[in-house]
Structure 1
Amino acid sequence: MQSGIAWVMAVLRSTLKAVRFWRPVVSRSLFRLSLDRWTVRSPSMSAYVIFQGDVTDEALYEEYKQLASSTVAAHGGSYIVRGGPWISLEGAEPASRTVVIRFDSIEAARTWYDSPQYEAARPIRQAASVGALYIVEA
């Protein structure tokens, strides 16, 4: 019985020594892996459709918002920013309206933009506002 306990204690001591020896190596490797995860571009990265502009016709823009909302939801997008207040920190004053829509990928954002549903809403936005619309991968 005594020899069994001594054997277990010896195994535990050697395991603890191994853990103490390998812990820094494993920690550095995991840290390196986590950095690689953020720096390597993946085909499944999120994409954001951003509109920055000035609304010239509020009534027409409201009509556009109704049409566009349903198309965004139908293509798996979600609004992150929808024309809320802003604070200028540096540079020129931004446009009066900023809209940010999140999609799962650039492909999903392009599919939404090129869809027949949004194609019907696009001319209304162009008539009701002046600005830029672009996609950013994140």
Structure 2
Amino acid sequence: MTHPSTRRTVILAAGTSALLAGCSEYGDKSSSPDESPKASSGQQLATTSDIPVGGGTVFKDQKVVVTQPAKGDFKAFSAICTHAGCTVNKVADGTIDCPCHGSKFSVEDGAVKAGPAPRPLPAEKITVEGNSIRLA
């Protein structure tokens, strides 16, 4: 036996649907908080020519971003934002950018330049031998 829908049931169902949709995970998971393990030391990340001067490259799988603030000066930082644990997604205009809430970090030292991030990106150890950049 079915009962006619009342206004209260329709509003309750719509509210429940909206709540569940808001709690669901959707979109590009690369910007979601990341809890998978980090890359092992000694792993080659790139060659020196892969990292643009004044910019950098994000290595999502290894959770590392490598920058070259000045020619021949290579730096590495965690690619995990200190605000909400999202993975940074690009390096542009001298900053490492997080897509989740707009935090921006310096390519020189990982310092917070903008956004809600409370701390700089932690430095990661790399070695540069010849033209090879590896995790230390």
Q: TM-score higher than 0.5 here?
A: no
Q: Higher helix share goes to which structure? A: 1
TM-score by length of 1: 0.26
With a CA cutoff of 8 Å and minimum separation of 6, indicate the structure with the bigger relative contact order.
1
